[in-house]
C-alpha cells in the first residue's frame, strides 16, 4: 500500500473533549516558523478555531502539516505527511510518527499552551482513497503492514488496532491504535532511532 498522505493524531490529555483555548497555539506555531523549531520548510499558520470540531489551528509546511485538530470533539496534534507518493506505508508512517513525536516534545517543552499529549492512543489516517479506500479489505492490508512497526515502537506488546469510522465509507481509512502502557514521547522517539533536540 502506497498512500500519498498519512496522518497521525496524538490526543490532548488528560481529557481530549475538554474545551481548549487555541489562541496560544497561534503564537506558538508562528514562533515555530520563525525559529525553525521543526523539520522541513514551514510556510504559514491557518486559524480555523471558529469552526466547531474543525481543523483548529494548522501549521502548514511543504512536506508536513501540523494542526491542533478538534475533529470528532477530541483535541489532538494532527501531523499529516504529504508528498509521499510511491513510498511504502511502513516507511511513510515511521517518518510521520517521528515528526509527530518531535512536535509533541516541542509543544510540551515550550509550555506556553499548557498542552500535553497522550501517547498510548493515536489515530492513523490514510488520506488517499484511491490507494486506501475505507473498506474492510484495505483496513486488513494496512493493519498487516503497520502492526510490526507499532509493536516495535511500543516495546513488542501487540497494540490493539481497530478500524475507526467504519460506518462511513466516505471518510478516509482510519486506524485507531491503543496500548496498555503509554511511554514518554522521548522514549518513543528513541525507538524510532531519533532523539528530541
Helix (H) or strand (E) holding 44: strand 42-48
* pLDDT at residue 157 tops 80: no
Specify the pLDDT at position 124: 98
How many alpha carbons fall within 13 Å on the CB side of residue 9? 25
Specify the pLDDT at position 59: 98
Closest listed residue to residue 168, CA positions, set 47, 71, 55 = 71
Where are the chain's structural domains? 6-191
Q: Which residues on adjacent β-strands are paired with residue 67?
A: 58, 78
Percent of the chain whose pLDDT exceeds 90: 80
Place of cell 486506501: 132
DSSP 24: H
Place of cell 510518527: 97
Q: Which residues on adjacent β-strands are paired with residue 42?
A: 61
Specify the pLDDT at position 97: 98
Render 11-73 in DSSP notation, one character per residue. EESS-TTS----HHHHHHHHHHHHHT-SSS-EEEEEEETTSTTS-EEEEEESSEEEEEE-GGG
Q: What is the mean pLDDT of the chain?
A: 94
Q: Which residues on adjacent β-strands are paired with residue 173?
A: 126
3-state secondary structure of 98: helix
* pLDDT at residue 170 tops 90: no
pLDDT band at 86 (very low <50, low <70, confident <90, very high): confident
pLDDT in tens, 91-142: 999 999 999 999 999 999 999 999 999 999 999 999 998 889 999 999 999 9
Distance CA 30, CA 66 (A): 12
Angle 18-23-27 from CA coordinates, rounded to 5°: 130
Specify the pLDDT at position 73: 92
Number of CB atoms found within 10 A of residue 101's CB = 28
Amino acid at each position: 500500500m502506497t498512500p500519498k498522505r498519512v496522518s497521525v493524531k496524538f490526543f490532548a490529555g488528560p481529557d481530549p473533549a475538554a474545551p481548549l483555548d487555541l489562541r496560544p497555539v497561534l503564537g506558538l506555531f508562528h514562533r515555530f516558523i520563525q525559529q525553525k523549531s521543526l523539520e522541513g520548510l514551514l510556510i504559514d499558520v491557518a486559524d480555523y478555531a471558529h469552526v466547531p470540531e474543525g481543523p483548529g489551528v494548522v501549521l502548514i509546511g511543504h512536506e508536513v502539516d501540523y494542526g491542533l485538530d478538534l475533529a470528532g470533539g477530541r483535541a489532538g496534534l494532527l501531523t499529516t505527511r504529504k508528498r509521499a507518493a510511491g513510498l511504502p506505508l511502513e516507511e511513510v508512517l515511521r517518518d510521520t510518527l517521528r515528526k509527530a513525536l518531535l512536535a509533541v516534545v516541542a509543544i510540551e517543552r515550550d509550555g506556553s499552551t499548557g498542552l500535553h499529549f497522550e501517547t498510548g492512543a493515536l489515530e492513523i489516517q490514510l488520506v488517499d482513497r484511491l490507494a486506501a479506500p475505507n473498506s474492510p479489505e484495505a483496513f486488513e492490508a494496512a493493519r498487516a503492514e503497520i502492526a510490526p512497526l507499532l509493536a516495535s515502537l511500543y516495546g513488542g506488546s501487540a497494540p490493539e488496532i481497530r478500524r475507526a469510522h467504519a460506518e462511513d465509507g466516505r471518510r478516509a481509512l482510519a486506524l485507531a491504535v491503543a496500548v496498555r502502557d503509554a511511554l514518554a514521547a522521548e522514549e518513543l522517539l528513541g525507538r524510532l532511532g531519533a532523539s528530541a533536540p
